[in-house]
Chains A and B, each alone.
Chain A
């Protein structure tokens, strides 16, 4: 057990800290995220700067533009990003889901074609899994794909697809065998969002902005080569994606929480907090440290045994609920000003936006109910409910 940096980790951290101090644009510090980050060119430029400095895809193989670094570097990177209140790389779905899935199931051609543009933020990805009839129960997917003279022809509808309106590519889960039900007969495709027959309709969400979308596919022709895994083997590939969505993302979420708690403390110093609020602030700081060290445990197990520790499965669940509490506590500290929004609100409406956005945290990437069932069944070994 050694929680301090090794000399090599310390030098990586030191260089990174200096680099962040010199390179994070002031207007992006503490950025509230969401779809607004795509409005101007700044965030893409920032992501590109991360890439050029070698900080995008730290753990990805060097041959695909990554850093070939151990996971600990990624952990240090995210800690330092939080400390500097720097925004993360813009390619959330590409980095966290599409990229790792392509590395696991893609051909050499796929890896050479798709991975580097994710890191350089030249291409943005979205995830087309959920459908009107398939949410928590993803095996209910009905969007169809038929193999026809060298192409999959795709018809159907996806929903809640984050950033689809800005995306170049989609990882799409389809049903290729119309006779099949549930987990069999699914096929996982890479779909060009600019292809004819793809129509994206933004959905305005609780925050007033449109971050997620409906996607309609009408006779969209997808080259047969854009297949990940086997025809009919899409479920297995999708599980890899979800594993990364909920797992690898753990450290990113921890960094987000660390930044949120820092801001909460700064807010309380700025505006004052009563005794009961101080107790809750201390609780949230404790919870944040607990998530952080739980991730360290899981990560250390991964480095030693190749498998992340089971405790890692609680990260997303705990983070989402912590973020909801932290943002609500911030509104309480703001007092009557909490009713104001956007530019009329203190801090440009950061907390009002964050609080509303946080309600999605317990729904996206697996609802808390689904995640609790996963902990109960896969970690505790309780009998299966489904």
Chain B
């Protein structure tokens, strides 16, 4: 957990009263929509198809049980009793009234939650690994660095009017759970050959209309220099970024147009001016931030407690344990992922009742802490193994024990045309149909790890480019069609998927995906050859043939 200081609390509260005044002036007509739009966007308020949408930040995906209860309260009191967890460690409410938004913000502020920089052309929520601080083999907790960057860039005048939005993600593990290669800046914390910890810095990743995998701009930047180095990148971007054309304004386009070497040289030159400035991070500053993160007082517990042995004969429990329970860095504890992908449900949605129940379970079994991951699932990061059977029973009761983590029905999907004013086509009903087709756990398990990502338009909020199977909604003569790509991935080996052929109509999508999966099962070299690896080995051709032979 992270304890905010007085400065943060004052800032958040001031922001709420400022926005209350702005809303009042908007409703009385003193402010026009043109004048108000930027102000509401600075507070996470979009206008969608049916209503205002309100996006709230969950910095580096860490929540206390008290904060989660407040998120539940906002869903219940000001919305329709549910919220949507997004791919960037935010939560979105879909039905908020403008007139009630200041009250919702004030309630959130009481627990240190806000919506600053969840939209607009500024530094967005600095995301991180949802297993930060508990993953075995991690170099150190990457959230310390998310927090340092968050503090430095929040409401920083120089970074409040960037050419376009700017997203940073940080990981400190070999396996990248934060999708750093599709961010404007990706930071990988590691220890170099000399034993010093620092960052590999990647730049220019992003999806949307013009997708790019981030490139390494500097293989090693020491910890003390990371702030000045990131600032140097932002300055070069601020100076050269294309403000004239919204489609070319992201840093990925600048990096692509200049080439990574030239861009790196510009950054290097800028960095020379500022690297030995106040931006240098002395150890004391890092320690100060580190000390604000608190970790549970873990007990010394056995690796294999009696409670676990006793329940091992229950096949339902075992299926869940094998799928959703992961190794913790401390013996006797586990990391537990809570699937927000029930069969037939909208991916990433949780009801207020579920949020309250998870908060209670976190208090009982996870030292009051909850995490949110970019895969749109929740995590209880510190569960004693002896508590797993009891936790499982409780989760099952509230519909959060679907054993499908990383399987074909653990689908990442954006809101699509059911909510989003930019959409071409619906995403959620496609996801729901697919979860029904692959509802059988044995089948899904036999298929193995397979990530399906769905976006309702080219903005790629559902990360379709990097789905093992990506589904993109397009429009043809007023009808919903979907382009299908295969072979993408979002992890440390990130790459874009390849289009398999012409777009297919709404009603065919689930059949096409079933065909692709059947083709994979017939083609894979061994049962443990993953879908993406089969695609890598054989290319898209055999899949294309299978899908289009009869269409």
**A and B: partners?**
no
